[in-house]
Amino acid sequence: MLWSTDKRSQILQAAFKLFAQKGFFHTTVEEVAQEAGVGKGTVYGYFASKQEMLHQMLCFATDYYFDKFYEVMEGNGGLREKLETIAREHFRFFNRHKDVARVILFEHRHITDDLGDWLIQKEQRRINFLEETLRQAAEAGEIRPVDYQVAARMITGSLWNVGMELAISSFQGSERQMAGGIVDVIWSGLKKE
């Protein structure tokens, strides 16, 4: 379950909703407090500052998101199945937690440099992990040799970008279908002859 029911989670939930709707800067701490049904001062009992709140939100959200990714990738099965599961889980996340997704996508700019670096590294580790996985799949003969770094970026890029469409526009599609379409093209591009 994404949300607990304690006060801290209430606040986080409210913040995700409002930051997603109106952006970090256009949301006031007072609004978050109201949405969460607590007093303004209470927010400061759980988060040192508005910035800190966003930091924790992004940590929470990306942990949740990336944990899923590694869980799938480290499981058993062929690469193609893994990619399809990843894609499906990605779109499921964007569909179910549109608010969280929007905050990850758009508000990571308003974070301090050190957290920004931390996030970039987190994504970089994912890219590296994927790159390595692709390399191994190539060595195992599952796919043909390509520029693994670029291919890894393509995969994540496609996912983020289609996810972004989900988040900002009214573009709709079933998770399975979208995941299938993407992996179909990617796989054709990667598979051995």
Partner DNA sequence: TATGAATGAGGATTCATTCAT
Partner DNA sequence: GATGAATGAATCCTCATTCAT
Chain positions contacting DNA, by CB under 7 A: 7, 25-30, 38-42, 44-46, 48-51
CB of 71 to DNA, least distance (A): 33
Q: Which of 74, 75, 136, 168 binds a second copy (CB under 8 A)?
A: 168
Quickly list DSSP for 4-69: --SHHHHHHHHHHHHHHHH-STTS-HHHHHHHHTS-HHHHHHH-SSHHHHHHHHHHHHHHHHHHHH
Rounded CA Rg of the chain: 19
Nearer to a second copy among residue 42 and residue 158 (C-beta): 158
Instruction: Assess 66 for contact with a second copy (CB under 8 A).
Output: no
**Measured between alpha carbons, how far is 43 from 38 in angstroms, rounded to an integer?**
8
Nearer to a second copy, 74 or 150 (CB): 150
SS3 content of the chain, % helix, strand, coil (to 5): 80, 0, 20
At position 57, the amino acid (one-letter code) is M
Residue type, 65: Y
Q: Is 29 in the site for a second copy (CB under 8 A)?
A: no
Shortest CB 1 distance to DNA, Å? 20
Q: How far is the CB of 187 from a second copy (least distance, A)?
A: 7
Choose between 12 and 178: whose C-beta lies nearer to DNA.
12
From the list 6, 67, 71, 184, which residue makes contact with a second copy (rule: CB under 8 A)?
184
